Amino acid sequence: MLTDRLAILSHPQRMAVFRLLMRRCPDELPAGEITEALQLKASTASVYLSALTQAGLISQRRDGTRMLYAVNLDAAREVVTGLFVDCCRGRADLCPPQFSDLLTSISSKTDKKFNVLFVCTGNSARSIIAETILRDKFVAYSAGTAHRSELNPFAVEMLTSKGHDVSLLRSKNIMEFQGADAPRMDFIFTVCDRAANEECPTWPGQPVSGHWGIPDPVKATGTNAEKRLAFHQTYGALHNRIMAFSELSFENLDRGSLQQHVDDIGNETAKEE
């Protein structure tokens, strides 16, 4: 089984599909979104998805006329554990990273504010809003994956109307946070599907990550009043997630439990909206 799964993953584009679903875990993605994100032909994507499903590396579920796909975490763990145990005899010194480090308590960090980065494509609205909401309790940052962007005036107006200080807000590129002198992040959240689907370099320090996808208010149409309403709705959705996150008992959670809470917050608040 291990060699069969490794053979499936040895194909670069099948691996790309698997990595995309791993990045979006625990989300289920429709085939069309996978095809678009990886710029594949629909027929080609179907072949890759079928192979990964047959190997048990991903799961599929029908939702009406759509097929939804998600990574099979149990299978992913079996692959990694198989390599670790079979090839290295469980010796962490031979086969890093040391697995024990992945689930250590983060209580040692509770004497300082956590660094949190919100990532979106443009860093003009959603990630900026999230950074502003969280700033009081954490050291919050935001960035975009696009090369250039500007703050959306409706976002700035809405934040000002709610009493937030917007004087320090600016649009930033994600590369600003990937240099040697950049602050080390404890948490990284993507707030748009497009940014979540993009493949970014590995972050140092193994930060806890989550995907809290929010519809883009910048795409709202209609009158200015209708556009402003979209931004207020975005603020409310992000506020619900961030308040739930900030109320977690960080000193009592190991990294595995904390990751589960982060995923649950994204899933549960999305159902309520």
Q: Specify whether 25 is catalytic.
A: no
Q: What is the 3-state secondary structure (H, E, C) of the chain?
A: CHHHHHHHHCCHHHHHHHHHHHHCCCCCEEHHHHHHHHCCCHHHHHHHHHHHHHCCCEEEEEECCEEEEEECHHHHHHHHHHHHHHHHCCCCCCCCCCHHHHHCECHHHCCCCCEEEEEECCCCCHHHHHHHHHCCCCEEEEEECCCCCCCCHHHHHHHHHCCCCCCCCCCCEHHHHCCCCCCCCCEEEECCHHHHHCCCCCCCCCCEEEECCCCCHHHCCCCHHHHHHHHHHHHHHHHHHHHHHHCCCHHHCEHHHHHHHHHHHHHHHHHHC
Q: Specify whether 88 is catalytic.
A: no
Choice among 87, 88, 95, 192 that is catalytic: 192
Q: Specify whether 192 is catalytic.
A: yes
List the 115-120 sheet strands across, edge first.
139-144, 115-120, 187-190, 208-211
Catalytic amino acids? 120, 192, 200
